[in-house]
Structure 1
Amino acid sequence: MLEEASQHDDAWLEQEILNRGLLATHYPRRKPNSTEMTQAKVPHTAAQTLAEGEFNRLYARGLSSRAKAEGIKFVEAYRARYSENPRPESQAIIGKKFRPEEILEDLRNNPGVDTALGVPPGPNSGITIKLIK
């Protein structure tokens, strides 16, 4: 994926996910106020959300590796994409500084969506990191 990431973007990954049929169309969900399960439709934005999130994680990992190699002590969280209704937890992380080693360790130890440090803070947050000198 590293080669693809350097030559493509999240829109390309989204299209690949769709073209290859990598997402289910439905998933099991519990009915409200019940123990009964039902099949819910996967949101039509799922491929986009997944692609953006994975590219952001890869970007954060790459930028943190670069910062570490160049002896840059901190990276900073910032809003890279406008959000109509930003989540409070996303807003709270903007401007925070992190050691690149912390970001790398966190991303390696938390391969899913959520990380312990909250960078990146989950799908559709619009938050990523930048180098600071």
Structure 2
Amino acid sequence: MGEARLRVEGVHADEMILDGLTSALHDDLRALSTVVVRRADSGPAPANSKSGPATSISDLLVTGLGPAVVLGVYRTIVAYLNRAKARSVTWIQDGREVTLTALSDSAQQKVIEQLAAQEPREKPQD
């Protein structure tokens, strides 16, 4: 299963507002119960992360990402962006970054396909 860093960006957001926006996304993702999500400032950065030590209040670490889970996480982020005052959420995984904003359905499908393609397929057990 994969691991990713999600970085929340707000419009003219000070530290307190960014903390609140990040907490709201954290709560939304925890409600999925298919992934483990925690504040990035509570531990080390994911392996292969470009950004080094995890200290930003606007970063979340999400673990348990597999091809079947990515769509639910993505939809949760888009729903969050449609109602929150966050400008975007950047998905950072294995040195790649994808910035998510509220997108049209066709654009959403392309992003989902890109994210799912990044996850290695689990090998069937004999």
How high is the TM-score relative to the length of structure 2?
0.35
Larger radius of gyration: 1
Larger RCO, structure (CA 8 Å, separation 6 or more)? 2
Higher strand proportion (structure 1 or 2): 2
